[in-house]
Amino acid sequence: MTTQNHRLHALDALRGHMMLLGIVLHAGLCYGTGDVGPIWVFRDSQEAPAIGTLVGLIGLFRMPVFFIVSGFFFQMLLERKGSLPTAKDRLSRIVPPFLLFLPITIALSSAATWWAIENLGVDANIMADGAWFQPHHLWFLYYLSFYYVLILAVHRLLTFTRLSFHWLAKIPFTAGALLFGGLLGGLTQMLAPFVMEPMLDFTLQIRQFFYFLLFFICGQWIYLKKHTLHELPQKVWWLLLMVIVLAGSGAASISFHDRDLETISFLETAALGSAMFSLCFLFFAAYLRWGSKASPMSFYISKSSYWVYLVHLPLVMGVFILLNGFDLSPYIKFTLNVIITTALCMLSYRYFVHNKWMSRFLEGRAWGEVLPRTHTTAQQKHIGESGHRKAGVDSY
């Protein structure tokens, strides 16, 4: 059986579902409790604590998983095509959409912010301070472009010096979670206090930049282990136990010693960091185990995810404005916002993107209705041994 026409549908599904959670997260910012920073001014007069908790939980793992998936596919292209073709492929998928949708997002978000100033009593100085001129949710593409350039430069240097890090593939997944957790612990100690500040302009936030770079590199490491990727689904329950034990012990130690961000110890940050990487590996393992079967719906969600990512934020703001005048529970408004925004994203993809010039612009080609061939979890060992997956390289 050849693998060139196969996709890892598990990672397609993981990417698509993480993107849909982005709609839930940004809609939740409108109706949940908690500090969301100075740049998010769309807050309902009624706030629901449960929605705020949900937003916090999603924000904990969503972007780390995204960057790991991105690093995985990037390393796959790097090994298959080499550095220069990979640079052309990745940057052509990232930079043009970023440059096209950035001014659109800024314009629509600024218009919505002026509405909030007029109707919600938001301080007008937020516009005078230039907070409108920022990448908004497109910061993900902004950071990815820097990661691509940085990693490609390192790759060229390693090629020139004939150094190789493929021996790292011998490290087991569970040990890898501890290793990357330790690196994250060291990073937080060097950059303490480690506070993830909102991106108010186009200046790279040093803590945020290196934090997500570590997850991107982790994705590359996972691809280096492609020959043993079939083993990961067998570790679901072990990874879940690691998440519980590491997160619990780290949080208990912080609470017992009454730590804050300035006094937290290396072992505590390493434990929490290892728990985070274990959680990301758990998502990979769970989707490889139970999400490897293709379906028209999951494939459609996956292919529309890039479009959904690009357009969903202004739609969330617009739906918030439409619902603002109704005297409804924040839970009902939140649910309606998620449903309406999701429907608008999917319908706009179907009629304005799918199989049209925008699809070629975003993905390099127009996608038809044909569902690609699939493989089961049992077949992943064969795919791992071959190390090739031609279809689906359009992923982030």
- Beta-ladder partners of 32: 48
Average pLDDT, integer, range 156-175: 80
CA distance 341 to 323: 12
Write the CA distances from 254 to 1, 65, 71, 276, 278, integer angstroms.
52, 25, 31, 16, 20
Instruction: Quick: pLDDT tens for 90-133.
Output: 888 999 999 999 999 999 998 998 898 888 887 777 766 666 67
Amino acid at 352: F
| Bridge partners, 6 (sequence order) | 373
What average pLDDT score do residues 210-216 get?
Answer: 94
Rounded average pLDDT over 244-273:
86
Q: 25 with 58: CB under 8 angstroms? A: yes
Among 183-187, 216-220, 330-334, where is mean pLDDT lowest? Answer: 183-187
Which tokens is 165 given? Answer: 């890090």
Select the more confidently predicted residue: 182 or 3.
182
For the chain, where are the alpha helices, taking DSSP H only?
9-31, 49-81, 83-119, 125-128, 139-161, 173-190, 206-224, 236-256, 266-290, 296-323, 330-352, 357-363, 380-386
Alpha carbon distance 24, 34 (integer Å): 16
pLDDT, tens digit, 9 for 90 and up, residues 268-296: 889 999 999 999 999 999 999 988 777 78
